[in-house]
A and B are shown apart, each in its own frame.
Chain A
Amino acid sequence: MIRLEKIYKRFGKLEVLRGVDLNIEKGEVVVIIGPSGAGKSTLLRCINLLERPTSGRVIFEGIDITRMDGRNIDKVRERIGMVFQHINLFNHLNVMDNVILAPMKVKGLSRNTAEQIARSLLERMGLGDKLYAYPSQLSGGQRQRVAIARALAMQPDIMLFDEPTSALDPEMIKEVLDVMKALVNDGMTMVIVTHEMGFAKEVASRIIFMDDGYIVEEGTPKEIFSNPKEERTAMFLSKILY
């Protein structure tokens, strides 16, 4: 579905991505782990071209989107949902309006249709009683679930998550992970950057370990967690799993 070919990304002199190749098939749940500064967020942001790779190609369903102009990139982005660590709901809009804005303005859905989609999504996420609340009235976990619903309302083909639980208080992490697990069960294609190793083990069809701007190792959760081939992977896991 998405193929990254030889992705390099430089910020000035700093080379953040150094030749990343990655192929994501439909229905896969790819979890990216790695130390801080490894380039995980940058890689994720290259997938929907929020960051333009310095070189390399991003192929989305057979089409090289790195060559596209802004208008067409917007079209591609409609189909790639994204959820960040820093939760940015639109502050001036209530939950419902946050979720229906893009379906209405980007896809041209009627308010009615968009609201129907939004309502069923929000109810599934346990937010049925918060439809008309404003972001400032929600907890972090609730806000993140709205952010997920907002991305899903575009009915994307793939969802990107960048440490969606890192900014949350511990007691709210589970509610967000549960929502994500439900998505996995629905067969959603997902790329997830996370430090939640238990969750990674449980849902990942493939784990990617990144360090220093490239993919050090990849494999099934079992391969990576039980017998990593690379020294650096083992080092990282021993630190993070105690």
Chain B
Amino acid sequence: MTNEPFFPFLRSILPFLGKGALMTVELTIISVGIGVIIGIFGGMARVSRNPILLVPSTIYVEVIRGTPLLAQLFLVYFGLPSLGINLPPFTAAVIAMGINSGAYVTEIFRGGIQSIEKGQMEAARPLGLSYLQAMRYIILPQAFKRILPPLGNEFIAMLKDSSLASTIAIAELMRVGREITSRTFRSFEVLTVVALLYLAITLPLSLLVRYAERRMSVSD
């Protein structure tokens, strides 16, 4: 197997790598999905003048962004069991990555909300809409459109960072690559293919993001 020509070798490992890539995408979608849910509320908390919302959300963002994702991942997977909380690897990964992503998405939403002209809120309140209704029906829909590009970038970043989940025994793309490497010793070829597979997912996404950015700069 180690002397097999490249293309047949590639064909034999691609199904495994493909499965790994699927796992990577799944992990990323769920994590960023959690991140977006956290981010909507986090972003609103970050623009609030109420310290009960503002202070914890700021601490959350600073702590998460100021510490490595790997440390967060280990804390959830290896650290929580000592408190009697045992999580399966996938759950642990999704929790750690979701909370991590949430901090970045919070800041994205904060920026998006702040980018909407003050007049939109000012027009909504006299109509009897509450602050939360104005957020929901007026501010967030407009903010959401504007933050699609940075959200896309966050997705791309998380997709790459999800390779860290290989350290807690999740069979995502990186992990599968390393397992094949240790079986076949063809590190260079395998890891190159792994890298190209990441690129195959991220490149179309970044092109899409750039296209969206360009369209937005034209429309407003």
| Residues on A facing B (Cβ under 8 Å) | 48, 50, 70-71, 74-75, 77-78, 80-82, 84, 86, 88-92, 101-102, 105-107, 147, 150-151, 154
B109-144: CB near A (< 8 Å → 1, else 0) gives 000000001011011111111110100011001100
Report B-chain residues with C-beta under 8 Å of the C-beta of A102: 124, 127-129
> How far does the alpha carbon of A84 sit from the alpha carbon of B119 in the complex, in Å?
10
**Complex: chain A residue closest to B127, CB-CB:** A102
B145 within 8 A of A: yes
Q: Which 4 A-B pairs have the closest CB atoms?
A: A78-B128, A88-B119, A88-B123, A102-B127
Contact between chains at A150 and B130 (CB < 8 Å): no
| Residues on B facing A (Cβ under 8 Å) | 117, 119-120, 122-131, 133, 137-138, 141-142, 145
Contact between chains at B128 and A75 (CB < 8 Å): yes
A66 CB to closest chain B CB (Å) equals 16
> How far does the alpha carbon of A82 sit from the alpha carbon of B126 in the complex, in Å?
6
Report B-chain residues with C-beta under 8 Å of the C-beta of A147: 123
Contact between chains at B133 and A90 (CB < 8 Å): no
> How far does the alpha carbon of A100 sit from the alpha carbon of B198 in the complex, in Å?
46
Could you give 16 example pairs across A and B, Cβ below 8 Å?
A48-B126, A50-B122, A70-B130, A78-B127, A82-B126, A86-B119, A88-B119, A89-B123, A90-B123, A92-B141, A92-B145, A101-B127, A101-B137, A147-B123, A154-B127, A154-B128
A187 CB to closest chain B CB (Å) equals 22
The residue among B123, B124, B128, B145 with the most chain A CB atoms within 10 A of its own CB is: B128
Contact between chains at A71 and B130 (CB < 8 Å): yes
Contact between chains at A77 and B125 (CB < 8 Å): yes
Q: A106 and B128 in contact (CB under 8 A), knowing A92-B141, A101-B137?
A: yes
**Complex: chain A residue closest to B142, CB-CB:** A92
> How far does the alpha carbon of A58 sit from the alpha carbon of B135 in the complex, in Å?
27
